[in-house]
Amino acid sequence: MKNYSIDLSLMPTTLDLWHVYLIAAVLVLALILIIVLLSMVIGMARKAKHLPAEIVKTVEVAAEPEIKIVEKVVEVEKIIQAPAPEPIVLKESTPDAALQLLGLLQKEARFIDFIKEDIAAYNDADIGVAARVVHEGCNKVINEYFTLDRVRQDKEGSKVTLAKGFDAAEVRLTGNIVGQAPFTGTLIHKGWKVTNIRLPKLTTGHNASIVAAAEVEL
Q: By CB under 8 A, name the binding residues for another protein.
A: 88, 90, 107, 110, 113-114, 116-117, 119, 122, 126-127, 129-130, 132-134, 136, 198, 200-208, 212, 215
d(CA 211, CA 187): 38
We find the least distance from the C-beta atom of residue 102 to another protein, in angstroms, to be 13
CA pair distance 131, 112, nearest whole angstrom: 12
Give the residue with the Cβ less far from another protein, 66 or 215: 215
Determine the angle formed by the axes of helices 124-145 and 97-109, rounding to 10 degrees: 130
Please state the closest distance from residue 176 (CB atom) to another protein, in A: 43
Query: Rounded distance, CA 185 to CA 183, Å?
Result: 7
Shortest CB 136 distance to another protein, Å: 8
Nearer to another protein by Cβ, of 151 and 199: the residue is 199
Minimum CB separation from another protein for residue 76, in Å? 16
β-partners of residue 159 are 186
Q: Which CB contacts under 8 angstroms, 24+ apart, belong to 98-105?
A: 99/208, 99/209, 99/211, 100/199, 100/200, 100/202, 100/208, 101/141, 101/199, 102/211, 103/208, 103/210, 103/211, 103/212, 104/141, 104/145, 105/137, 105/138, 105/141
Smallest separation (angstroms) from another protein to the CB of 195: 18
For another protein, which is the closer residue by CB, 98 or 119?
119
16 or 113: CB nearest another protein: 113
User: Which residue number, 32 or 129, has a Cβ lying nearer to another protein?
Assistant: 129
For another protein, give the closer residue by CB, 69 or 84.
Answer: 84
Q: What are phi and psi of 134, to 5 degrees?
A: -65, -45
CB 196, min distance to another protein, A: 13
d(CA 51, CA 67): 25
